[in-house]
Structure 1
Amino acid sequence: MPIEQPGHSAEPTRAGARATARAVADPAEGGASQSPDSAGRSAPPVRRRSLADELRAWPAERLANLLATRPDLAVPPPASLAALAERASQRASVALAMDRLDAFTLQVLQALAVSPEPVTAASTAALLGLPGDGTVDGAIALLRDAALVWGPDEGLRPLVNAREALGENPVGLGPPLASALNNSSPAWLQAVLRRLGLPATPDPVTAVGAIAALAADPPRMRGVLDEAPAGVEAVLEKLVWGPPFGKIGTGPGEDGAGREAAAGSPLEWLLERGILGRWNEDTVVLPREIAFFLRRHVFGSGLHRDLAAEPPAVPVAQHDARRADEAAAAAATTVPRRVEELLDAWASGPPGVLRSGGAGIRDLRRTALLLDASEEETAFLAELAYAAGLVAADLASGFWLPTPAYDRWLDLPPERRWAELAAAWLVSDRAAGRVGMPDERNRQVAPLSAEVASWAVTELRRDLLGELDRLPKGATTGTDAVVDRLFWERPRRSGPAVRQLVEWTLREAVWLGLVAPVRGAAGILATHGRALLLGLPRDALASALAAALPEPVRHVLIQGDLTAIAPGPLAPDVAREMALVADIESAGAATVYRFTTASVRRAFDAGRAADDLHAFLAEHSLHEIPQALTYLVDDVARRHGRIRVGAAVSYVRADNDAALTEMLADRRTGGLGLRRVAPGVAVSELPPEELLEGLRANGYAPMAENEDGSGATPVRATSRARRATSFHPYAVQRPALPGSAAVVALAEDLAAGG
């Protein structure tokens, strides 16, 4: 009769199996045990030490390492070691700590959780199929230092919630024999003993114990299976690695009920000898003790089919480290300028705040066209600015606007601006790659919305850059190799969704200039990227970037076609003025600028005069200024400012009434709703931005001004909406660095207070 394995989601459950998992623990992570004395008698129950008692024996240095390894334990600071032990035993904290275990340490924890008592390092190594040479000692030490395992060496105990986090069938194992044979009658159990050649016992408990003792004796158990009919091994092979539950199927020629194993079938033979248990009417289960024997002595060498004792190999390809640093540095210097372009565009034409939060996809596409960038890169720039606090949702206006911090950021040197952005990105929970992806309701995720946040992305960034940091300087490896290593380091955080996060993070690291791209590989971590991982101060981080950049230049090559070429990175003050008076056509090792009517007018709007522009260009041009550029500056200067626009809703003020009369008589301005209110002054119902655009589209050159007649000041967010962040029960602050003053001080206080 065939046996069919249900999927994991269809595995049966039973209260008895859950009770078995808790049988050895009490609410305080302590318990009682009986140990025989020298005469073989049972000694009185002795209270096992609790986790709190064990923590009291730890020195302050070890407590500090625990708080650094599990930072959620320190937020808020616990009042005592008892409070620390209670918090360390909570389900959410335990699950988070387990998420940070590598594959081998997790496998050791699984072995500790399922191993029969007493649990020791030697018994765990034997269960894993490893020699007793101390191979597992290091992993057990890590688990004890993380307070996931406690107790004496002769009786190690995983936390109750660590056992439960492994699931009801850890490592694909079924329940113990006591639960698997729970549906069997006493008479049936005695019949099982006879078939196995075991003596009768007085009760079901001792009968199950006798079967368990047989399973723990490999030669005897091997002898039982040697007498099995053909097909038994195939049935066991289906269940041994999990799921341990199997549906009883119906084969050709059998009745359609499928309730009973056919007489003489392999399934009947296994059931009659207690090697399989009947879980319910149509489901059988492989008991845990039997699976231990089969995994170690029949189908494998240990508890796990594949033991991850060593991390996967990472092939390395070496490249020129200096060139990689220069390539990454070039991208790093581009990012602040792109963020500035985006926020300047949003200052003049801000996107609205959606009712559900975030900005609209249409606004993102419009901004991408303005920046001549992809939607993915534009979303990254917006999220980067948001993470750095340079843009916010303004409640008063209902628009996304630059913040006052943006103006302070603009005053910083370019390398320091990049340092602010890179530091914000590293600790941000924003996964820009989610923008535009379908959400749970199959709607596109909006930029700057709560759906962009991901509780896992912050640690993933550190882990990913850390893997690249392991490689020699200037070396890279394949993306698949990095993913395999990451999944070994964090097996509970693996799968297609995490792989996608890895790809997004690598892409963002390249855009940010932390990683130099290499075709077909994960990229090369730049020197300033390594400095970011070290947590250096912003100034030191900026200096690390500056070291990879060539010396800045203070001159440009201005050509007759109204373009200018900067042969290298411009000095900050020169770059700022060039970006004001000309548009950037392309950036890279050499930046190409183009002078246009709009760009020159932009400089005039910012308060520059024609003489200022002529002097600046003459000072920083290697050659004589082309006549075409001189004419362009003078022509825009003659027309600029003759007409001024302000808010009244909007008003137009002219230097003389004749100019205003000429404009009002122009049929092209009829749709702007202008009307004269005084000599040289007219008003409109249009907002100032639309009125400016309308007049300029019809050949006029008005200038925006404030109420006092000065140039208009930038629009900034005044009242911010609540920041959209991710929520997850396991989300915590980023891990504190071991040895940090706050962690050491808290550990010393706890050690002193007991």
Structure 2
Amino acid sequence: MTRADRGPAGGGASQGSDTPPARTGANGTGSPASASVPRRRSLADELRSWTVERLANLLAARPDLAVPPPVSLASLAERASQRASVALAMDRLDALTLQVLQALAVSPEPVTASSTAALLGLPEQGAVADAIEQLRDTALLWGPDEGLRPLVNAREALGENPVGLGPPLASALNNSSPAGMQQFLRRLGLPATPDPVSAVGSISALAADAPRMRAVLDSAPAGVEAVLEKLVWGPPFGRISLSADDDAYEAETQDPETDADPDSGTAEPSESPLEWLLARGILGRWTEDTVVLPREIAFFLRRHVFGSGLHRDLAAEPPAIAIAQHDPRNADAAAGAAAIAVPRRIEELLDAWAAGPPGVLRSGGAGIRDLRRTAALLDVPEEEAAFLIELAYAAGLVAADLASGFWLPTPAYDRWLDLPPERRWAELAAAWLVSDRAAGRVGAPDERNRQVAPLSAEVASWAVTEMRRDLLGELDRLPQGATTALDAVVERLFWERPRRSGPAMRQLVDWTLREAVWLGLVAPVRGGAGILAAHGRALLLGLPRDALASALGAALPEPVRHVLIQGDLTAIAPGPLAPEVAREMALIADIESAGAATVYRFTTASVRRAFDAGRAADDLHAFLAEHSLHEIPQALSYLVDDVARRHGRVRVGAAVSYVRADNDAALTEMLADRRTGGLGLRRIAPGVAVSELPPAELLEGLRANGYAPMAENEDGSGAPVVVATARARRATSFHPYAVQRQALPGSAAVVGLAEDLAAGG
């Protein structure tokens, strides 16, 4: 139970300004100790002394400071001191650097590297010096070596009780009367002082003198250290029990300022441990039923009684990782096979959405039913379907069309289709790395216990982008082809980013790793975190798209140009097909399964699709003969010839619609067929009939009843006749996808900005 009016949480720390008070020099005149070194009154003054290179490093380490570009060093300093920017910078600190910042924030002034290292129980040189240098380079710490100053908002971000410490003695003993303060001094064996302020100073000096303070505790009654141990590591507040048979109840009913011997440092026989501590100011009375352990006392206890430094567990080194080595070539091949399948699934997804687009929900996003239909279409779990949808959105290939109210492919999708498969993947992977879309949230309950819809605003998460880089970065640190346990990776991630830890971040790690496997960046390993593929490492390096595509191409086997056609009207591609062969196979046959080997199936509908696209029977026979490893099965030859024989015998055109047959007998047979009664056909001339249905509906109706018509050219000319496919629907008016942060400048722009700031001062 803390109270806001008890004083600042940081011992001796200035609150509300990053400008220090004036300091007097050694002569007491207020002049600086050395006239040759200009006194820096603020962070802006400090930044003015930095080189261009150091300013550029600051902007690179804290990229939010460069967006939008600051106009001066004063505005840069102001932005660097703002709460949101400070919190973001602290989120990027590793565990040891954060612990050093905590020590700097709670250390009594003047704060130096030496005093901070002593408080931590570490040598001044080495890790502590490196951490202080990093904090200064990121502008979270400033000031001269003899007076280091963490930013005010950095102190506030550490909380009211940083590292589990209570308030300073001056605040902890604030409820004691001046007479009571003198009683504390007498019981501690200290001389009287003229006022409470100097009394607090005497007790603080005693706490800083380890041998004397140890001697005081040695004279304490049994149980005192047990009471202190409960408070020393935090929380520093303890509630006094009001049980009648509890020693603490005695402390509530007796006055520690009058019941104990004022001239004795030893305990009265009737004193309880809590009474003894309260009677000497080692604990403070915070409220009527709450006690608090003052910060200075906690420093002594942590360093000399219950530990060796400020922190119970000092994170001096990152956790060790045990690795298991695998053949990197196998890992690259496995990841590459998964990667090259992603563009095909995206194409299948968006072609289906172009033909039957899902509507945009009133609250934004697409419906859960549309997600399930998409998962069934792609034959993948709903979680993976959500990932593919969000990936297409992040790459700018799909958007909400404002005119129609549907989710439709964008014009960028057509340009993407013109790229080779490896290059398509490179576009998707680069978009995923910088996207803030957490597809794992799709389908989870939101604040109103409703399922989060795909493409909705709830899918965005501020932590996603940096988590992706951090996780891939941890895998990148392992030797090539090596993996380790996922728990070990999580432990390292949480050491690197302790302010980004906990169950929610662990779930984000799982989602991120799952997406990296689906995208083909990481090869899965049973019982391990997976192996980062060579093209995954290339993605982290920020290589251009063409280089990234080449890295993936190196992981893939040589494209094959032949398939194994079987008698059951299936064909197996033993590896990735050459692009032109793959496109033709997808036209003639349906893909049943994809992976290391793709399985195709020939059907009447798939062969007719090729004829509708302008292929002739001879074209199909020639293609299959050229690309089949064995002789074409007779069943497939019969299928092609049978569809070709029936294809185009009946033709459909616009008139509203008409049917024209090569001979009147075929038309007479069709009109007499009961199954065509609902199509509204009527004869208008020998071999010609008309219908009120649009041509597309008439075509589908005749095909559904066993006929094989084809669409006729508008001029009614003869062969070759190509079915005019429906015009691909595209989003024409939409808001392009934008990551939920402004674009960050490149390294060259950062250096230029640093030069401008240094020149402007």
Are 2:201 and 1:214 equivalent residues in the alignment? no
1:419 — aligned with what?
A: 426
Q: Equivalent residue of 1:430, what SS?
A: coil
1:626-662: CA deviations, max 9, x gaps?
A: 22212222333344456677999xx644234967776
**1:277-288 → structure 2 map (5 Å cutoff):** 277-288=284-295
Contact 2:560 2:576 in 1 (8 A): yes
Residues 677/63 of structure 1: CA separation in 2 closer, same or farther (3 Å cut): farther
Are 2:100 and 1:108 equivalent residues in the alignment? yes
2:151 — aligned with what?
A: 159
Are 2:5 and 1:15 equivalent residues in the alignment? yes
Contact 2:13 2:106 in 1 (8 A): no
Residues 236/259 of structure 1: CA separation in 2 closer, same or farther (3 Å cut): closer
Residues 63/118 of structure 1: CA separation in 2 closer, same or farther (3 Å cut): same
2:395 — aligned with what?
A: 388
Residues 558/300 of structure 1: CA separation in 2 closer, same or farther (3 Å cut): same
Q: Equivalent residue of 1:251, what SS?
A: coil
Bigger drift between 585-594 and 303-312 goes to 585-594
Q: 1:683 aligns with which of 685, 692, 712?
A: 692
Distance 2:410 2:536 in 1: 27
Are 2:728 and 1:715 equivalent residues in the alignment? yes
1:199 Cα deviation from its structure 2 partner: 1.1
2:718 — aligned with what?
A: none
Are 2:476 and 1:489 equivalent residues in the alignment? no
Q: 1:43 aligns with which of 27, 30, 35?
A: 30
Bigger drift between 142-151 and 401-410 goes to 401-410
Bigger drift between 631-640 and 454-463 goes to 631-640
Flag structure 1 segments of 5+ consecutive residues without an equivalent.
1-10
1:4 — aligned with what?
A: none
Distance 1:665 1:188 in 2: 114
Are 2:636 and 1:655 equivalent residues in the alignment? no
Q: 1:32 aligns with which of 21, 26, 44?
A: 21
Distance 2:194 2:275 in 1: 25
Contact 2:652 2:660 in 1 (8 A): no
1:513 Cα deviation from its structure 2 partner: 0.8
1:168-226: CA deviations, max 9, x gaps?
A: 11111111111111111111111111111111111111111111111111111111111
1:27-86: CA deviations, max 9, x gaps?
A: 3x2122333524xx4636997521111111111111111111000000000111111111
1:528 — aligned with what?
A: 535
Residues 272/585 of structure 1: CA separation in 2 closer, same or farther (3 Å cut): same
1:634 — aligned with what?
A: 641
**1:231-630 → structure 2 map (5 Å cutoff):** 231-251=223-243, 253=245, 260=252, 264-630=271-637
Distance 2:477 2:548 in 1: 20
Residues 607/285 of structure 1: CA separation in 2 closer, same or farther (3 Å cut): farther
1:612 Cα deviation from its structure 2 partner: 2.6
1:155 Cα deviation from its structure 2 partner: 0.6
Amino acid at match of 1:466: G
Are 2:169 and 1:177 equivalent residues in the alignment? yes
1:365 Cα deviation from its structure 2 partner: 1.1
Contact 2:563 2:627 in 1 (8 A): yes
Distance 2:248 2:195 in 1: 36
Q: 1:65 aligns with which of 42, 57, 64?
A: 57
Q: Equivalent residue of 2:467, what SS?
A: helix
Q: Equivalent residue of 1:491, what SS?
A: coil
Q: Equivalent residue of 2:692, what SS?
A: strand
Q: Equivalent residue of 1:84, what SS?
A: helix
Q: 2:193 aligns with which of 195, 198, 201?
A: 201
Distance 2:697 2:308 in 1: 76
Residues 633/80 of structure 1: CA separation in 2 closer, same or farther (3 Å cut): same
Contact 1:453 1:725 in 2 (8 A): no
**1:673-752 → structure 2 map (5 Å cutoff):** 680-684=689-693, 695-701=702-708, 711-722=724-735, 733=743, 740-752=747-759
**1:71-82 → structure 2 map (5 Å cutoff):** 71-82=63-74
Bigger drift between 671-680 and 93-102 goes to 671-680
Residues 351/374 of structure 1: CA separation in 2 closer, same or farther (3 Å cut): same
Distance 2:507 2:195 in 1: 56
Distance 2:200 2:517 in 1: 61
1:348 Cα deviation from its structure 2 partner: 1.9
Distance 2:421 2:697 in 1: 33
Bigger drift between 113-122 and 352-361 goes to 352-361
Distance 1:502 1:192 in 2: 53
1:665 Cα deviation from its structure 2 partner: 5.9
Q: Equivalent residue of 1:136, what SS?
A: helix
Contact 2:437 2:464 in 1 (8 A): yes
Q: Equivalent residue of 1:539, what SS?
A: helix
Are 2:77 and 1:85 equivalent residues in the alignment? yes
Q: Equivalent residue of 1:570, what SS?
A: coil
1:552 Cα deviation from its structure 2 partner: 1.1
RMSD of aligned alpha carbons: 2.8
Are 2:109 and 1:117 equivalent residues in the alignment? yes
Residues 312/645 of structure 1: CA separation in 2 closer, same or farther (3 Å cut): farther
Contact 1:215 1:289 in 2 (8 A): yes
Distance 1:292 1:206 in 2: 20
Distance 1:502 1:433 in 2: 10
Contact 1:404 1:717 in 2 (8 A): yes
Structure number with bigger Rg: 2
Distance 1:706 1:210 in 2: 103
Residues 646/219 of structure 1: CA separation in 2 closer, same or farther (3 Å cut): farther
Distance 1:743 1:516 in 2: 35
TM-score (norm 1): 0.91
Q: Equivalent residue of 1:655, what SS?
A: strand
1:726 Cα deviation from its structure 2 partner: 7.5
Residues 643/752 of structure 1: CA separation in 2 closer, same or farther (3 Å cut): farther
Residues 140/660 of structure 1: CA separation in 2 closer, same or farther (3 Å cut): farther
Q: 1:150 aligns with which of 130, 135, 142?
A: 142
Amino acid at match of 1:437: A
Amino acid at match of 2:501: S
Q: Tell me the percent identity.
A: 80
Contact 1:643 1:653 in 2 (8 A): no
Q: Equivalent residue of 2:7, what SS?
A: helix
Residues 62/677 of structure 1: CA separation in 2 closer, same or farther (3 Å cut): farther
TM-score (norm 2): 0.90
Contact 2:232 2:301 in 1 (8 A): yes
Contact 2:652 2:659 in 1 (8 A): no
